Structures are given as C-alpha cells and as structure tokens.
Amino acid sequence: MRTAPLHTRPLTRLVLGLTAVPLLVGSAVLPASAAPALKDNRPPGAERIVNTETLRWNAPRDFHIGTAVAGGGHHVDQPYPDPFFNDEEYRYVLAKEFNSLSPENQAKWEFIHPEQDVYNFEAMDAIAKFAKRNRQEVRGHTLFWHSQNPAWLEQGNFSKEELRAILKDHIQTVVGRYKGQVYQWDVANEIFTDGPNPVLRTGPTAQGGNIWLRELGPEIIADAFRWAHEADPEATLMFNDYGVENINPKSTAYYNLIQELLAQGVPVDGFAIQGHLSTRFGFPGGLQENLQRFSDLGLETAITEIDVRMDVPVGQQPTAEQETRQASDYDRALEACLAVEGCNSFTVWGATDKYSWVPVFFSGEGFATVMTDDFDRKPAYFQMRDSLAQAKQDRR
C-alpha cells in the first residue's frame, strides 16, 4: 500500500526536545557552547492547535508550507534569548503548523562561518535535527550574498585565488554537511541592484556591493551553482531576491541571466521571490504571470520570505480593515504560487509577530506575520489555510 509523504501524515507525536550538537572548528570537533536543554513536554497553549486545523495538514501533499526559524542576526540584540532554543510554545507551533523550515540567519556567513577556519554548525544542526524528528524538510539560506558577511572576510587581504578557494570551501562544506537534508538552497541571493536599470552588485561593500562579484567577476555565479551541485546533486539550486514580484527590470535581469546560464549548462534549478510586502503599496498583480515565465524555462519557483507589514501607531493594534487587506495580500500570493506548476514552496518569513524582523528594520511598521505575539491566528492565517485546503481537494 502506498503511504502518504511524511509531511501529510497525521502528527501523532511532536518531538520538541533536542540535544546540543557539536561546534566544528577546522577539522576538529569540540564541545558545543552551552545550548539550553530542550524539553519534550507540551507547552502551555498547545491544546489550541488541532492537527486537522493546521496549515501543514491542509496543504496539498506535494506542497511545502514553511516558515523562517527565528535566531541569529537581529535577534542577538533583542531582549529575549534565542527563540528556537528557549521558547517551547514557539517550537510547538513550528512543528505543528509547517512542513518546511528555513534558517532565518543560522546558515548565513557571519553565523555559520564566523572565523576563517571555524564553522559553527550548532544552530543549523539543531534545525535539521528538529525537522527530521517532526517530519519536516529544510530550505537552505544562503550561500552567496553581499550582506551579513563576517569581518574576517570583508576586511581580509585575500588574493583572487584565495577568495575563490574560500567561497568554494564554504559552499561545499555547508551544502555537503546537509546533503540529503536540505531540499532547496538559495545559492545566489540579491545579486542585482534596485532601480530602473539593475546591474550586478560590483560596487563597494558599504554601498551594497557583493565581495564575490566585485573581486571575482560575474563568472563566479556559475561556479557557485556548480560547486553546490557537486556537493549535493539532488538539492534544488535557486536565485532569490526581493522586489521581483512583478515583471519588471529587476526580475527581467534575472530572467535574462538565467537563460544565459542554462545555455552554458550551469545547474540552475529555480527562481525564488521573497515577497516582503507592505499595505502601503498595491499588491503585485503580475506575480502569477512572473512566476509562470520562469516556470516556462523549466525552472522550479518559490515564494520564500513573505510577510505583509502594516502601518500601526505605537501602542495600538491593527484595524479590522488593515487585517483584511493583509489577509488578501497573503492569500493572493499563495494562490499565485498554487496556480503555477512547479511552485511548490511557500514560506512565511516568521510565524509570529513576537519574533518578526519588520519592526526592527521598518520604523512605524509591524504586525507583518500570520500570528500575534501570543500565537493567536490572524485572518491571513485562516484565509491561507482555506486556500491550501481547496488546492488539496482540487489535486486529488
């Protein structure tokens, strides 16, 4: 008898506990830093979530409904401990609601490769282990980016040959470690500038330049994809960016570049749209058409970092009208993805406002996720869940 994929089977048991995992330093394995012991008990409020009412239960069997796992980056400076290791109810929601997890910052260079000869795998290993125990899959983010690079890299005095070797080692070490555990990798992230005439980010770091493009030239993009493919031939390798929801100069720059790379036999498998939206602006009505043109190239597509931020005065809550608009934007984006063959990954960039990046980086805006600080589900959550359930029914 054929069994259902792991992420669609009933969740009869959620495993929330993890043991500390090692910190790999060069070729030696040293004891991990003291990560809090994670408990297996059901957290307060767990009874609010019923299996058949969750996003993952209602998703089609071939569809990844995911979230970013909060940690690293700006969270280090917030007045709370690491969310993933310390918040039981948060972990419970991650396991119950989603069948795909993305490290928000835990696989970015500054976190996972903090010194030249040091790889810190503790948090990423924990996410991978948690996902396996809870029958989830993992998206990898990200291998080649202009931001959140460690000082040793950006301020180092490296030759071109040394930089090339550093990048190859990083990609093959990280991708190789999670071979078979990560189904998609954002290989090249945000490589084009904004504006009406986007170009590759070859400028100074302080102006948003990409060290790899500046020092090694555009040919290094193809090398990055080849190295990742060598490390894990089964992983889907993608470009990822913001501001590319519609057919516009920036998304067209990717469209043209990808065609060139495919003609050269470079293993580019997909194009991912982040989807950081705001109710200040209209919904990107060309989203489905844009996803479709990349699909027509034979690529997988994905929406990887969606949130919908709102203008709410300090100390106040969103109005019903604002939440209705937010719900519409989330659902229209989901519907666009569901309508395109090969768009089988949709990731909200944070499950709860409690740990959202938006208020930290967008003054006066917030409430951007599908759950409140207390994990109450918003209208956006329910509207998406209904659309997933309908798609599940339609695909039977």
Catalytic site residues? 190, 305
DSSP secondary structure of 199-233: -B--S-GGGT--HHHHHH-THHHHHHHHHHHHH-T
> How far apart are the C-alpha atoms of 143 and 108, rounded to whole Å?
7
At 272, give phi and psi (nearest 5°). -120, 135
Tokens linked to 252? 């067209």
> How far apart are the C-alpha atoms of 63 and 4, rounded to whole Å?
13
Tokens linked to 350? 């944070």
Partnered with residue 45 across adjacent β-strands are none
> How far apart are the C-alpha atoms of 223 and 343, rounded to whole Å?
25
For the CA atoms of 90, 94, 96, 101, what is the dihedral angle to 10 degrees? -170
Cis peptide before 52 (omega within 30 of 0): no
What's the half-sphere exposure (Cβ side, CA atoms, 13 Å) at 75?
23
DSSP secondary structure of 60-80: -TT-EEEEEE--SGGGGGSSS
Q: CB-based burial of residue 203 (10 Å sphere; 0-12 exposed, 13-18 middle, 19+ buried)?
A: middle
Parallel, antiparallel, or unpaired: how do β-strands 137-144 and 100-103 relate? parallel
> How far apart are the C-alpha atoms of 161 and 187, rounded to whole Å?
20
What end-to-end distance do the CA atoms of the chain give, in Å? Answer: 17
> How far apart are the C-alpha atoms of 4 and 71, rounded to whole Å?
32
- Supply the DSSP symbol for 388: H
Tokens linked to 211? 């060290």
Parallel, antiparallel, or unpaired: how do β-strands 64-69 and 343-348 relate? parallel
From the list 378, 391, 257, 274, the residue with the least C-alpha distance to 333 is 274
Tokens linked to 369? 């996720």
